Structure 1
Amino acid sequence: MKVALTRPVGKSEPLSELLLQQQIDSVICPVLRLNEVAVSDAAQAMIHEAELAIFVSPDAVRYFSQLAVPLAGHCAAFAVGEGTADAIQQTLNIKAKYPKQPDSEGLLALQQLSSVEGKRVLLVKGKGGRPVIAQTLKARGAIVDSLVVYERTAVKDTSDSWLDHWRSQQIEGIVITSNSAADAIFNTQSSASKDWLAQCTFFVVSQRIAEHVQQSYNIEQSQIVVCHGPDNRAIAGSIIDYTKQQGRKMTQSESQTKHTNTQQTQRAAEQTVASHQAKAGVSKVALLALFVALGSGIGAGYVYLQQQQQLQQTLLANQAISAENQLLSTQLNGAKSQLQRVEKVLDSLQGDVTKRLAEQQQNVDTQLMQTLAKAQQQVSGAVASEALYLQRLATFKVAAEQDYLGAVAILERLLESLASESNTAVVKQAIATDIATLKALPKPQTESLYFELHGLLSQVDVLTIKTKQIPQTSVSEDAVLSQQVDDWKANLQRSWQRVVDDFITIRHHDEVIIDPLLDKNEQLLIRAQLRAYLTQAQTALMDQQAGIYFSALDGAAETLARYFDTQHPSVNAMQQALHKLSRSEVQRQDSVELATPAAVKGWLK
């Protein structure tokens, strides 16, 4: 027996070697190719959330590993069969649970998958396939996420070239491991190829594939062999068992044929001898004519009998077709009458629906008109709330912060919100009046004064503090004593100087040495004091506290004059700036009364 192995590339070689060990020839001819399916980032995110992961095939494991996205540490792995479990162990280094029955039903029968309500299950699979695992787990309350990592596609558009090659190789058996492979093999329009396939023996790895081949392509059940499992050893064992079984049947058939032929020969010889003994006087020519006549009669009778049987079968088939046509006619008449009743019901329902829709449309129009009328008479809650909020905010800006420009912007926003409202002429007039009044007011100098003080603060660290200059030491006179008596005073002074020089060392410098009056810490404290006065003036300016503002400026001016070099340009410039700031006006202006709040309240009433 010669077998065609149709698994994808790289999977049929081990099976071919197993068959060759048993002297069974095989032809490797892949009919499907596996292609990787791109997995989106959202689909990859499901991997981390999975509590259970189910792999349907070793190919699913292989393509999943190429994603380089590991399963969560608490995720339990399951495999449909032992081969898939081995692939998980080798590729992902995870021990997976698998059933003894290597199919979807066996997997779903595992105790660990019986209570999965509320759990997230990741189903790693190929494109297509049976939905029984996902449907069953969803029915049990699980949250199933299907992750498609590969797809099967036929190597060729039609199977004609494969089938011609297999016929030339005298193939008798074909191994099929999936429904997709079966569809690819039977994808032919040639009648001769279909007839040849109908005579082949198919070795399938599951009962599901056997039913698919039998129902979809009318293959007899006797020509389908369901293997012991999907792995290579199980398939090879099934093929070997089938080959041995067929060999035993052929041996028994040949023995029975020989035995039957021997008995028939003996009986014919006995009859011939008896005939010769009974009719010894009959000539051989007459006996031969008798045999020819008997043979012709028997042949004619056999032909007649065959024709009668065919005629009987044709009559029975015609009767069955007539009965079926009559039944179909009855069903068609019933369907027509039922269709007429349905059309009448639909017409009646359509009339009722049209009438009800018209009534509802009229009611909706009436309610809409009433609602619009009410809306025109009263202000909506959202507009009222916004108007109250904006007028209160504008009042606060004017009274508390004296931010007239901010108040103008708020009033302009209030004017825009009331543009589509009715009966707002008085309010709009009040808003326009307030905007004109606020724009006419002088702008406060608070910001400019504040930033000017900020500029002075940034110059504190570079101001020059008063320092002391040590005068240059004069060159000492010649200490040589004079021989003149009149120079006794000078000689006495020189002698005294020599005695003093033995106890005191005087160093002379050619360069001018400048030493500060204060050390570094005291200088830092002085600068910090000046900075504190300026910061206090800033705060008092923002709080409109004129007394504190001017007092802080006076303290800063006094510190500047006492400790800093007023001859230096930077110190002199700061003194002038402080003098200018001390003459600025920081008192609040008279309060401004807005007309908008009263107008808004009157409009809302």
Structure 2
Amino acid sequence: MSAWRLLLTRPAEEAKSLAATLAEHGVFTSSLPLLAIQALPETPGQRARMLDLERYAAVIVVSKAAARLGLERLARYWPQPPQQPWFSVGAATGRLLADHGLNACWPASGEDSEALLQLPQLRSAVQVAEPRVLIIKGEGGRELLAERLRAQGVTVDYLCLYRRTLPDYPAGSLCERIRAERLNGLLVSSGQGLEHLRQLAAGDWPQLAGLPLFVPSQRVAAQARAAGAQHVVDCRGASAAALLDALQAEPVPAH
């Protein structure tokens, strides 16, 4: 039995799956979703991008929510999709694409933008005349991908399909949950999840900032430290396996 007692903040469906995996390894968890996925209405510009899909040398999908919503759009407009490669930041997102029959690639290790940019298949895909890449995502986030690709002469378009909202919780509920269940670690899965954590904590944030905070990447780790978090653990990925490795390597704080 692990001594870790973690607060999970992912969307409810993802938190449930992660909690089940962690429970198998003796890790106690409590779920307080800080990200609710709200699909955005389709705009004429978004429809045009989907209809022009074959113009892109590659398509990048940054999250499972983006994959699910993007595949719905793909099925609507492309019963037989174009044959360009599709890429994802993480394996779970990539498997959703592959299960749909797409030519999907993702980094074998390191579930972040940096690892994806080093992927040989992506580098090869953009070695064409006037390369264009479509990034399917939610509002905000993942600017590094576009910046690096544009620096290589790639034209990058976005297809933003959803926004992440903070569910409505009573004031003080975050600290109350942590105290009541004797939680000794926090988990966020993105920069926006971190911002929602701070927003919900409000005046209690300085108190919570001393708890170990597990994050998926160097980028989010830097954001967390800049926000005042004192004990940040970069899991180098958002998968359950990456988190379990980090939990094993990190000493449990003393009460």
Q: What TM-score does the superposition give when structure 2 sets the normalisation length?
A: 0.85
Question: 1:117 Cα shift?
Answer: 4.8
Q: How many positions carry a matched residue from both structures?
A: 240
CA distance in 2, matches of 1:73, 1:195: 50
Residues 72 and 139 of structure 1: CA distance in aligned 2, closer, same or farther (over 3 Å): farther
Q: Secondary structure at the match of 2:141?
A: coil
Cα deviation 1:286-328 (Å, max 9, x = unaligned):
xxxxxxxxxxxxxxxxxxxxxxxxxxxxxxxxxxxxxxxxxxx
* Mapped pair 1:184 → 2:187: no
Which residue in 2 is equivalent to 1:194? 205
User: Are 1:117 and 1:140, in contact at CA under 8 Å, matched by a contact in 2?
Assistant: no
Correspondence for 1:219? 229
Does the 8 Å contact 1:4/1:174 carry over to 2? Answer: yes
Secondary structure at 1:78 match in 2: strand
In 2, Cα distance between equivalents of 1:196 and 1:241: 24
CA distance, structure 1, for counterparts of residue 133 and residue 248 of structure 2: 40
Residues 1:109 and 2:110 aligned together = no
Is residue 28 of structure 1 aligned with residue 31 of structure 2?
Answer: yes
Contact 2:62 2:136 in 1 (8 A): yes
Structure 2, unaligned runs of 5 or more: none
Q: How far has the Cα of 1:14 moved from its partner?
A: 2.3
Shift of 1:116: 4.8
The one of 39, 43, 48 aligned to 2:42: 39
TM-superposed CA distance for 1:209, in Å, is 1.0
Question: Is 1:122 matched with 2:134?
Answer: yes
Out of 84, 88, 92, the residue aligned to residue 83 of structure 1 is 92
Match of 1:65 among 61, 65, 71: 71
RMSD value, Cα = 2.2
Question: SS in structure 1 opposite 2:177?
Answer: helix
Aligned partner of residue 134 in structure 2, secondary structure: strand
Residue identity opposite 1:229 in structure 2: G
Residue 51 of structure 1: aligned partner: 57
Residues 158/50 of structure 1: CA separation in 2 closer, same or farther (3 Å cut): farther
Q: In the alignment, residue 94 of structure 1 is paired with which amino acid?
A: L
CA distance in 2, matches of 1:212, 1:42: 32
2:138 corresponds to 1:135: no
Q: Are the structure 2 counterparts of residues 237 and 113 from structure 1 closer, same or farther at C-alpha, using a change threshold of 3 Å? A: closer
Q: How does 1:502-541 map to 2 (within 5 A)?
A: none
- Where 1:166 maps in the other structure, the secondary structure is helix
1:232 aligns with 2:254: no
**Counterparts in 2 of 1:24 and 1:97: CA distance versus 1, 3 Å:** closer
Counterparts of 2:104 and 2:171, CA distance in 1: 38
Q: Counterpart amino acid of 2:229?
A: I
Shift of 1:23: 2.5
Code of the aligned partner of 2:36: R
Superposed, 1:273-422 pairs within 5 Å as: none
Aligned-residue offset at 1:140: 1.7
Query: Where does residue 203 of structure 1 map in the other structure?
Result: 214
Confirm whether residue 9 of structure 1 aligns to residue 12 of structure 2. yes
Q: Which runs of 5+ in 1 are unaligned?
A: 251-605
State yes or no: 1:172 paired with 2:184: yes
Give the Cα–Cα distance (whole angstroms) in 2 for the partners of residues 195 and 22 of structure 1. Answer: 31
Deviation at 1:184, TM superposition (A): 1.1
More strand per residue: 2
- Deviation per CA, 1:232-270, whole angstroms, max 9, x where unpaired? 22213322443xx449xx7xxxxxxxxxxxxxxxxxxxx
The one-letter code sitting in structure 2 at the alignment partner of 1:155 is P
Q: Provide Cα deviations, 1:389-427, integer angstroms capped at 9, x if missing partner.
A: xxxxxxxxxxxxxxxxxxxxxxxxxxxxxxxxxxxxxxx
Based on CA coordinates, which of the two structures has the bigger radius of gyration? 1
